Amino acid sequence: MQINRSDLADCAYFIAIARHRSFRRAGLELGVSSSALSHALKAFETRLGLRLLNRTNRSVTLTAAGEQLLQAISDPVNVIGDAFETLNRFRDAPAGRIRINMMADAAALLVSPILPVFMERYPDVELEISVDNHIVDVIDSGFDAGIRYGGTVPEDMIAQRLSGEIDWVIVGAPSYFERFGRPQHPNDLAEHRCLRIRLGDDSIYKWELDKADESVAIDVPGMITVNNADAALPAVLAGAGLTYLSEPLVSLWSRRGNLRSRCRIGHRPGQRSTCIIHRAGTCRRVCGCWSI
């Protein structure tokens, strides 16, 4: 059977759909609409005279023919992709489309401030940013890379540091301290109103504090639980309670004049840096753009 250019493109489409088991997620990875992918795959199946996928409203599965085709073409198509990737070394500047998933703190503190410089320096790069505190599989969700705290990097990913180690502190509004007083010891938090934090893996974060030679992790009480500092801060500023934030975020709000009081009953010295994570082979295309 003679192979034409449409077959090569459709093979790449088929592999992405098979990997994600979803036309929508495959389309996000490829920068193609799900309807365009569906039409392309139907035409591919017609040319082959075989059904490759079973499609319902809820699922996409491979037929026996689809399984065999995926096994046969995955490695050769990946080799072709890697060959094109190596051509980037001959470019004078990065170019193309990059999708990055990142936590809200990284978007506010690291990425947003440098976007004007990024746009001037890399005019040929189309950057799509997805802000989400939930821990997702970066590659399976169609992203090129993600930004995470160092302690949450999957074992099969490569991490490159973007920041130094970060301190964490307890903060509250003056009105709260005037009404309820300041806790003097980490154990005093049991008697205070706290805004609890839900992590990206859906667990409730225990506030980690160091005071003198003592290190504790406290499951603080609280009527309110948030998964985003931007949701917690307005309530804290209004005197609703205490919360636990990274020092850079606290400093940002302090410079704006919004936050004037922080509680130094203990803090967590920097132990986690912020990292950009990616799979092997995408380093130049993704990480080369962050040397600002």
Residue 216: pLDDT band (50, 70, 90) is: confident
Q: Are residues 266 and 278 in the same domain?
A: no
Count Cβ atoms below 10 Å from residue 178 Cβ, excluding itself: 11
- Position with higher pLDDT, 233 vs 180: 180
Provide the H-helix boundaries in the chain: 5-20, 23-30, 34-48, 64-86, 104-106, 115-121, 174-180, 229-237, 247-255
- Position with higher pLDDT, 161 vs 111: 111
Q: Are residues 117 and 259 in the same domain?
A: no
Residue 212: pLDDT band (50, 70, 90) is: low
Query: What is the residue-averaged pLDDT of the chain?
Result: 79
Nearest-angstrom CA–CA distance, 210 and 271: 12
- From 27, 60, 87, the end of a domain falls on 87
Give residue 284's pLDDT. Answer: 47
What residue numbers bound the domain in which 158 lies? 91-163+274-290
Q: Are residues 259 and 226 in the same domain?
A: yes
Do 148 and 108 touch, CB atoms closer than 8 A?
A: no
Nearest-angstrom CA–CA distance, 90 and 245: 43
The secondary structure of 159-180, three-state, reads EEECCCCEEEEEECCHHHHHHH
Q: Are residues 154 and 193 in the same domain?
A: no
Q: Give CA torsion, residues 176, 180, 183, 186, to 10 deg.
A: -90
Do 148 and 277 touch, CB atoms closer than 8 A?
A: yes
Do 145 and 158 touch, CB atoms closer than 8 A?
A: no
Give the mean pLDDT of 51-65: 89
Q: Are residues 150 and 281 in the same domain?
A: yes
Give residue 195's pLDDT. Answer: 93
Do 7 and 47 touch, CB atoms closer than 8 A?
A: yes
CA 197-200-202 angle, 5° bins: 70
Q: Are residues 72 and 112 in the same domain?
A: no
Count how many residues are written for the chain: 292
Q: Are residues 266 and 281 in the same domain?
A: no
The secondary structure of 87-135, three-state, reads HHHHCCCCCEEEEEEECHHHHHHHHHHHHHHHHHHCCCEEEEEEECCCC
Phi first, then psi: give them for residue 238, nearest 5 degrees: -85, 0
Residue 36: pLDDT over 60: yes
> What CATH number is associated with residue 178?
3.40.190.290
Q: Are residues 186 and 214 in the same domain?
A: yes
Q: Are residues 10 and 143 in the same domain?
A: no
Task: Please count the structural domains in the chain.
Answer: 3
DSSP 287: I
Q: Are residues 68 and 111 in the same domain?
A: no
Residue 58: pLDDT over 50: yes
Residue 66: pLDDT over 80: yes
Host H or E run for residue 268: strand 262-272
